[in-house]
Amino acid sequence: MNSNTQQQCDVLVVGSGAAGLSLALRIANKAKVIVLSKSLSREGATFYAQGGIAAVFDESDTIESHVDDTLIAGAGLCEKDKVQFIAENARECVQWLIDGGVPFDQEETDEESDEPRYHLTREGGHSHRRILHAADATGMAMQTSLQENVLNHPNITVLERHNAVDLITEDKIKEGGNAKKIVGAYIWNRDSEHVETVAAKFVVLATGGASKVYQYTSNPDVSSGDGIAMAWRAGCRVANLEFNQFHPTCLYHPEARNFLLTEALRGEGAYLRRPDGTRFMPDFDEREELAPRDIVARAIDFEMKRLGADCMYLDITHKSPEFIMKHFPTIYMRLQDLGLDMTKEQIPIVPAAHYTCGGVMVNTKGETDVERLYAIGEVSYTGLHGANRMASNSLLECVVYAWAAAKSIMQEIDAADMPGELPNWMKARYVTQMKR
Catalytic residues: 293
What is the C-alpha to C-alpha distance for residues 142 and 145, in angstroms, rounded to an integer? Answer: 5
Would you call 77 exposed, middle or buried from its count of C-beta atoms within 10 A (0-12, 13-18, 19+)? middle
Which run of H or of E encompasses 256?
none
Q: CA dihedral in degrees (358, 364, 365, 369; nearest 10)?
A: -50
Identify how many contiguous H helices and E strands the chain contains and give both numbers.
12, 17
β-strands 33-37, 120-121 pairing:
unpaired
Strand partners of residue 189: 162, 194
CB contact at 8 A, 215 and 257: no
What is the C-alpha to C-alpha distance for residues 265 and 123, in angstroms, rounded to an integer? Answer: 8
Question: Which candidate, 141, 150, 112, 140, places its Cα nearest to that of 24?
Answer: 150
CB contact at 8 A, 235 and 180: yes
Strand segments, DSSP code E, in 170-298 are 182-189, 194-205, 238-239, 244-251, 271-273
What is the C-alpha to C-alpha distance for residues 265 and 259, in angstroms, rounded to an integer? Answer: 14
Question: Which candidate, 249, 261, 257, places its Cα nearest to that of 216?
Answer: 257
Residues contacting residue 45 through CB under 8 Å, at least 6 positions apart: 17, 139, 208, 209, 219, 220, 223, 378
What is the C-alpha to C-alpha distance for residues 357 and 64, in angstroms, rounded to an integer? Answer: 22
Angle CA 218–98–133, to nearest 5: 35
CB contact at 8 A, 392 and 256: no
